[in-house]
Amino acid sequence: MDKIAGLSEAKGEVTTFENVVLPKILTIAGSDSGGGAGIQADLKSFTALKTYGMSAITAVTSQNTVKVNGVHAIPTDFISSQIHDVVTDIGVDAIKTGMLHSKEVIETVVETLNDLNVKCPIVVDPVMVSTSGHRLLNEDALNMLREKLIPATTIITPNIPEAELIQDGKIGELADMMKIAESLGCKNALIKGGHRPYRDLIGNESIDEALSKMEKLSNVTVVGYGSTAEVLEEYRNAHSGEKSNELVIDVLWESDRKHFTLFVQPYIQSSNTHGTGCTLSAALAAYLGKGMSMSMAVKSAIEFTSLGIESSMPLGSGNGPLNHMHSTKILPLSLPTSTSPAPFTTHLIQSAAEHWDDYIYHPFVKQLADGTLPKESFLHYITQDYVYLVHYARIHSLAGYKSNSFADLEAFANITQHIAKESAMHVEYCNSWGISTSDLLKTVESAHNIAYTRYLTDVGHSGTLLELLVAVASCLLGYGEIGRRLKKSALTGEEFAPGLVCKKENNPYWKWIEDYGSSDFQIAVDEGISTLERKAVEEQPSRERLNHLTDIFTRCCQLESGFWDMGLHKL
């Protein structure tokens, strides 16, 4: 589901956003004005995990990180109506419930889902005990939860005090946690151990002993304990900020495969835990809605939540919220869309705007347009450009070396052949202007030419294929733009630059203009843009990489201007 952009198979065609239908996840819970818990935490989690969030609000609260100052309950028929409206029209791939504050609300939710014949996974976060230890559900509601909600639930996610309350039992050690998880009467149960120091759970044994004993049982898997490599463990010891040997043990029971999974992870010391339970159950619903297996979904939800705590920042004066956006990144550049199919190339040209304009509207180009360019300037330019093309072709061969598919290899070989053809054009010009082929071959590369071509080869050697392509794009796109615009100006009378219409008659450089304005060259430009866009979508460069890429493009526009200077002033 993460793959939101891709490429169609059709040659050169960049598709845009894939028609992925996002999993639709519904939360049935209270609203937390402070944004850290309730439907707010749920919607943030759904969004961060790229699922489509919907909500049925059971109560509106007025609260912040310090306390709940007011609760406005929503009538049960209105709760039912919200669920009904979204399920019947939009549909649902997973549901989570949070604060269901009374017997009546619980009954309404169960009956509504039943009436709607909902078959998707249902995650129940039994919000029963507040962080301060205050009990939130009365005995009637608790019975309703036990008798009607739990049997209709896919997985229930109590913490230890909640599990004890539901089961009316005490959890002393790890074995009790497992026993209670199994006996809650729910298809799957996750008992969260964050409220209990792990040492209280394992008694007199060491954690290694306790867990290796567990691991030997055929119906138990231990996840997250024991390191793959000691070098990593050593690295963690050396680089962890605060050292804590505290661990959290969560227990998952799956009745269908009669299996326990123990998730062991470091305990994170933080006061930013407001909405932890909401976030875990919301992430779990999202992962189940994406089609993950139960144990994988639980593992992922635990990780999502832990990272949320660990990456949180201070907010409010009480228990602050988690950070729900720890693993999302804003793309610095839009993906191609139908109305904007070339966002990367557009960004390159816009970022280099000033230097691009210097290059396109250079005096050399204007003198080509009106035919006033001195012959010696043109000849100096064209002989140097012949040498340039040798290196330009070499760099496309290097692009071939950096490719890993025959499609790309073929495309770059094709460009190399085009460049060879272009060079033949140069030989023709020279011959027709009185320079023999053998004289042309004796051209001594000017310092500016060396600067430009060796800059290109160095970028080609140092970076990725995308960097190489960006470096060669300045020449391709600029010549395409100049050829297209000059030709059009000459044929339509439209100004190329203020006061300047390109001349066709008696313009000694008309052949040059026609060559770069030809459909052959314009097709190469089109294919060049397609390849750039395709590679940019594949790589999805970070902001830093993008800046590096625009720097390369800008530098090449400047080197192109310098190339015109070289021609004009016969440098």
Judged by CB under 8 A, the chain residues 206 through 225 that form the site for its own copies are none
Side chain identity, residue 229: A
Site for its own copies in 544-563 (CB under 8 A): 544-545
Q: Closest separation between CB of residue 514 and its own copies, Å?
A: 17
Q: Give the Cα separation of 96 and 154 in Å (integer).
A: 10
Site for its own copies in 140-199 (CB under 8 A): none
Asked whether the beta carbons of 1 and 68 are under 8 A apart, the reply is no
Check the CA dihedral 72-77-79-81 and report its sign.
Answer: negative
**130 lines the binding site for its own copies (CB under 8 A):** no
Q: Closest separation between CB of residue 17 and its own copies, Å?
A: 4
Could you give the C-alpha distances from 345 to 13, 178, 333, in angstroms and in order? 15, 57, 11
Q: Give the Cα separation of 126 and 431 in Å (integer).
A: 87
Cβ neighbour number for residue 199 with a 10 Å cutoff: 15
Q: Concatenate the DSSP letters of all residues of 99-111 into one string.
A: ---SHHHHHHHHH
Site for its own copies in 254-313 (CB under 8 A): 265-266, 268, 303, 306-307, 310-311, 313
Q: Closest separation between CB of residue 228 and its own copies, Å?
A: 5
Of these, 485, 503, 534, 535, which contacts its own copies (CB under 8 A)? 485
Q: Which residues contact 545 (CB under 8 A, 6 or more apart)?
A: 539
> Tokens for 55?
């909500």
| Residue 184 or 349 with smaller CB distance to its own copies | 349
Check the CA dihedral 127-129-130-135 and report its sign.
Answer: positive
**50 lines the binding site for its own copies (CB under 8 A):** yes
Q: Closest separation between CB of residue 46 and its own copies, Å?
A: 8
Site for its own copies in 487-546 (CB under 8 A): 488, 522, 525-526, 529-530, 538-540, 542-545
Task: Count the residues of the shown chain that bind its own copies, applying the rule CB under 8 A.
Answer: 126
Phi, psi values for residue 54, rounded to 5°? -135, 165
Q: Closest separation between CB of residue 298 and its own copies, Å?
A: 17
Q: Closest separation between CB of residue 22 and its own copies, Å?
A: 7
Of these, 14, 181, 186, 294, which contacts its own copies (CB under 8 A)? 14
**249 lines the binding site for its own copies (CB under 8 A):** no
Q: Of 174-182, 379-387, 423-431, 458-466, which part binds its own copies (CB under 8 A)?
A: 458-466
Q: Tell me, residue by residue from 368 to 407, as one string, x for binding to its own copies by CB under 8 A and - for no binding.
A: ---------------------------------xx-----
Site for its own copies in 65-94 (CB under 8 A): 65-66, 69-70, 72, 74-75, 78, 81-86, 88-90
Site for its own copies in 323-342 (CB under 8 A): 323-332, 334-335, 337-342
Q: Is 449 exposed, middle or buried (0-12, 13-18, 19+ CB in 10 A)?
A: buried
Q: Give the Cα separation of 490 and 510 in Å (integer).
A: 9
Q: Is 540 exposed, middle or buried (0-12, 13-18, 19+ CB in 10 A)?
A: middle
Q: Closest separation between CB of residue 432 and its own copies, Å?
A: 28
Triad 450, 451, 457: Cα angle to 5°: 80
Q: Give the Cα separation of 280 and 298 in Å (integer).
A: 9
Q: Closest separation between CB of residue 339 and its own copies, Å?
A: 4
Asked whether the beta carbons of 252 and 261 are under 8 A apart, the reply is yes
**226 lines the binding site for its own copies (CB under 8 A):** no
Of these, 7, 62, 409, 451, which contacts its own copies (CB under 8 A)? 62
- 517-537 in b/e form (b: 16+ CB < 10 A) is beeebeebbebbbbbbbbbbb
Q: Of 215-223, 319-327, 387-395, 560-568, which part binds its own copies (CB under 8 A)?
A: 319-327
**98 lines the binding site for its own copies (CB under 8 A):** no
